[in-house]
Structure 1
Amino acid sequence: MIDLFAGCGGMTGGFVAAGFSTALAVELNPYAAATYAANFGEDHVRQVDIATVSAAEVPRADVVVGGPPCQGFSSLGSRNIGDPRNQLWREYVRVVRAANPKIFVIENVDRFLRSPEFALLRAEVDGGSLAGYELTYGHLNAADYGVAQRRRRTIIIGSRIGPVALPEPTHGRGEQDALPVGLLPWAGTRTRIAELPERPDTTELPRITTTFFGRPVPGVFSGLDLHLGRRPTELSLRRYDCVPPGGGRFDLPTELLPRCWREKPSGTTDVMGRMRWDAPSLTIRTEFFKPEKGQYLHPQWEADEPMRRVNRPITHYEASLLQDFPADFRWCGTKAEIARQIGNAVPLGLSRALGNQVAAALR
């Protein structure tokens, strides 16, 4: 396989678990590329702008995977169709043409299917440079594949060996006895983070560096190295203490509301939210350590026992586990850079389902 815009390796991790090996990975960010190399080897990784990788440098491969940057399509951004990052799918297509894979897979935000770029991609398949491939596409939710996180993404599979269906869900929302035969209930956050210390010992990463691609980077870190606390203000702690599992900013008394929330009585329902033990988290974004950005408060909270409340956002380690990374996954970079890698990654349960589906089609 070839992994483009590889990030820290979320897509590669799932495909490797499905039996693939990587011939080439391309990632521009030096910290994400270092994390990728720490887990999957440095020899096949190019830490460069994808536009600088010539066709002659692209190996043949059975599969090309990747998630071209999607900020221009994101509902969190300005949704500027002229954003130059939206055009990076063209570089993806160029590498697909050079590698001539039997199958390619694109992962992107859910609104990608409504973008002008997706229309152009279909035109390339209908008679352009990707003629001969058949597309299958749709929206998949990571929770439907055993990930303890509700994360809805666009998945596009192109194949020149016959259509490849999107993988069938293995999990569903609801109690076991109410689900169709063969489906398991969605995994709750309890299955990933319940055994971790409720109060982290430190707010800082260990002071170690490792050299990748000829330059030193912070790391390599793993496990409890990433179980990092913060130092919230007294006001923040008072706000956290008011929010029950599944709740959010609407649970705060008026005197604790910042002006911006007092003046906006609707919308942004998940901010200052608390997770629930028995349900998947909402989407883990790149600033999961800021409760004002989403539903990122630790799920432990008991109405009748204030001393049994964990009033903090989730840690980097907890976020990585909710993204389905293994406990021993290795990370490089600063706290902010590692958070960005975690939030931008494809959850491994979802990529593993895709890898298994593609492997079955190739067989």
Structure 2
Amino acid sequence: MPAKGQDDKMRVTEEEIYRKRISGVLKEYKFGPKVIDLFAGAGGMSLGFSPFLGHNFEVVWANDFNEYAANTYNMNFGKHCNVGDIVDILEDPKTKVPKADLVIGGPPCQGFSLLNKFKDGDPRKQLWRPFMEVVKRSGASVFVMENVPELLSSFECGEIYGVAQSMGFKLASAKLCAADYGVAQLRWRAFIVGCKFADPSEVFPPKRTHIAPENGVRRRFLEKDVPYIDDAKPYKTVRDAIADLPQPKGTEIRKEKAPLDLHFGRMPTAKSLKRYMAIPKEGMNRFDLQRLAPELTPDCWIRKKTGGTDLFGRLWWDKPSVTIRTEFYKPEKGRYLHPEQHRPITHREAARIQSFPDKFVFTGSKVEIARQIGNAVPCELAARVADSVFALLLSKRDIECQTSSRKKDVAPSCLESREATQSRK
């Protein structure tokens, strides 16, 4: 570790990393930190840290409980994802956790439902503990833990902070809205970033890159302390994400190139189609259905006077989507109707709203792919968090290189790519 003082300051900001990443020159740093992804699902978090979105991180190990999600992960990132219960994997003496710079993932705060019958002390009830065990075994100096926003006010959050601090980590946390970072979706996630060699609050939370329209959008949380970049762009909308797609065909995964492979529909009942047609304008929902066509409205909706305003709702063209969940193809589950066509959104449309690039390959059945899409961290949001982490790790490397060069009285060759890039500004 360098001595306390000026060398501890960040040598690069997360905004600098962001701008270089979106301009495609981040690879000039010739620096690829090694990553472990736990509870990885199909790989939404890994994708944000990967060359898919302009980053240099290298995944060396991953884990998920779901075989179908792991297959998708391995199809896109190489065969790094181990299938199974992380507790069992870590208890296996044959398991060797590779060395890594960073551990990422979203451990559930409660055990899997099928394991709730176990005693209170079972480690599966608090899956952040094996997450931190992997951090320890891998020697990672940074970790990123992701979950629902409620995590940050939970008892488990206090436990996580206590364990991480006892391991030497400084911590920063925030609730982030995906729409603020270039995702066409109002989805909130909580992140805890731990770092051993610097205060992560110097670069996290990352500055917001996209700004809501003047008429505003509904926000669950306030983020007054998170600034914008100077040239923040307008929110990405449903129109931005899906308007170029043609009418979907068929009801099964199509043997065509992306994006058409996952652009298929459903076979609605006659009554369902009448319901879709009864609320033709964007933004309409079940209350409009009850007002315009009470004879088509289920009795349970009529009895339910409050809540659930997004049920059986149409998306707006010029606003971000609501949160995409695992059953987005069922309009009765949320605001998942196309803005103008009489159908729910397709798998490809949901994937785009989650900011998955078309070249990302999904495997498995229709239901399994929907689960992979809905459970994922929005990829562009993950990429902005990755900007913060890359700034941390690059600053650490630069400090170490400079310290080494002072001792040897030679130029720090590992800084050359960065200095060359800066000289072209």
Query: Per the shorter chain, which TM-score range?
Result: 0.7 to 0.9
Q: Which residue, out of 259, 263, 269, partners 2:309?
A: 269
Question: 1:15-35, CA deviations, whole angstroms, 9 ceiling, x for partnerless residues?
Answer: 013210011011121110010
Aligned-pair distance for 1:247?
2.1
Q: Give the counterpart letter for 1:66 in structure 2.
A: G
Q: Which residue, out of 188, 204, 224, partners 2:252?
A: 204
SS of equivalent residue, structure 1 residue 153: strand
1:153-232 equivalences in 2 (<5 Å):
153-164=189-200, 165-175=204-214, 181-198=230-247, 200-206=248-254, 222-232=258-268
CA distance in 1, matches of 2:269, 2:263: 20
Q: Give the counterpart letter for 2:325 in structure 1.
A: R
Q: Give the counterpart letter for 2:195 in structure 1.
A: S
1:102-121 equivalences in 2 (<5 Å):
102-121=141-160
Question: 1:91-114, CA deviations, whole angstroms, 9 ceiling, x for partnerless residues?
Answer: 111111111211100110111112
Aligned-pair distance for 1:84?
7.7
CA distance in 1, matches of 2:148, 2:257: 29
Aligned residues of 1:3 and 1:25 also touching (Cα < 8 A): yes
Q: Give the counterpart letter for 1:2 in structure 2.
A: I
Aligned residues of 1:133 and 1:158 also touching (Cα < 8 A): yes
Aligned residues of 2:208 and 2:229 also touching (Cα < 8 A): no
CA distance in 2, matches of 1:30, 1:319: 21
CA distance in 1, matches of 2:336, 2:193: 32
Aligned-pair distance for 1:175?
4.6
Aligned-pair distance for 1:206?
4.9
Classify 1:72/1:182 alpha carbon distance in 2 versus 1 (closer, same or farther; 3 Å): farther
Structure 1 residue runs without a partner (length 5+): 74-81, 208-219, 301-309
Q: Which residue, out of 370, 383, 386, partners 1:352?
A: 383
SS of equivalent residue, structure 2 residue 144: strand
Aligned-pair distance for 1:361?
1.1
Aligned residues of 2:111 and 2:127 also touching (Cα < 8 A): no
CA distance in 2, matches of 1:122, 1:4: 19
Which residue is 1:214 aligned to?
Answer: none
State TM-score, norm by structure 1. Answer: 0.85
Structure 2 residue runs without a partner (length 5+): 1-34, 113-119, 216-227, 395-425
Aligned residues of 2:70 and 2:83 also touching (Cα < 8 A): yes
Which residue is 1:33 aligned to?
Answer: 70
Pair 1:7-2:41 in alignment:
yes
SS of equivalent residue, structure 1 residue 252: helix
Pair 1:149-2:197 in alignment:
no
Aligned residues of 1:70 and 1:85 also touching (Cα < 8 A): no
Aligned-pair distance for 1:70?
5.2
State TM-score, norm by structure 2. Answer: 0.73
Q: Give the counterpart letter for 2:40 in structure 1.
A: A
SS of equivalent residue, structure 2 residue 190: strand
Aligned residues: 328
Which residue is 1:303 aligned to?
Answer: none
1:80-95 equivalences in 2 (<5 Å):
86-95=125-134
Classify 1:57/1:48 alpha carbon distance in 2 versus 1 (closer, same or farther; 3 Å): same
CA distance in 2, matches of 1:265, 1:22: 49
Aligned-pair distance for 1:221?
8.2
Aligned-pair distance for 1:314?
0.3
SS of equivalent residue, structure 1 residue 97: helix
Pair 1:65-2:104 in alignment:
yes
More strand by share: 1
Q: Give the counterpart letter for 2:271 in structure 1.
A: L
Q: Which residue, out of 321, 324, 328, partners 1:281?
A: 321
Task: Mark the structure with the bigger radius of gyration.
Answer: 2
Aligned-pair distance for 1:201?
1.4
CA distance in 1, matches of 2:176, 2:145: 12
Aligned-pair distance for 1:47?
1.7
Which residue is 2:276 aligned to?
Answer: 240
CA distance in 1, matches of 2:125, 2:150: 12
Task: Indicate the percent of aligned positions where both proteins have the same amino acid.
Answer: 48
Question: 1:205-263, CA deviations, whole angstroms, 9 ceiling, x for partnerless residues?
Answer: 258xxxxxxxxxxxx98431111210111211122123321221111132222111111
Aligned residues of 1:69 and 1:85 also touching (Cα < 8 A): no
Aligned residues of 1:324 and 1:348 also touching (Cα < 8 A): yes
Q: Give the counterpart letter for 1:49 in structure 2.
A: D
Classify 1:185/1:95 alpha carbon distance in 2 versus 1 (closer, same or farther; 3 Å): same
Aligned residues of 1:223 and 1:317 also touching (Cα < 8 A): yes
Aligned-pair distance for 1:85?
5.8
Which residue is 2:352 aligned to?
Answer: 321
SS of equivalent residue, structure 2 residue 49: helix
CA distance in 1, matches of 2:285, 2:71: 36
CA distance in 1, matches of 2:111, 2:289: 33
SS of equivalent residue, structure 1 residue 22: strand
Q: CA RMSD in A?
A: 2.3
CA distance in 1, matches of 2:238, 2:71: 28
SS of equivalent residue, structure 1 residue 158: strand
Which residue is 2:136 aligned to?
Answer: 97
SS of equivalent residue, structure 2 residue 137: helix
Q: Give the counterpart letter for 2:365 in structure 1.
A: T
Question: 1:39-60, CA deviations, whole angstroms, 9 ceiling, x for partnerless residues?
Answer: 1111x22122211333851111
Aligned residues of 2:236 and 2:319 also touching (Cα < 8 A): yes
CA distance in 1, matches of 2:110, 2:329: 20
Q: Which residue, out of 72, 78, 89, partners 1:53?
A: 89
CA distance in 1, matches of 2:246, 2:287: 29
More helix by share: 2
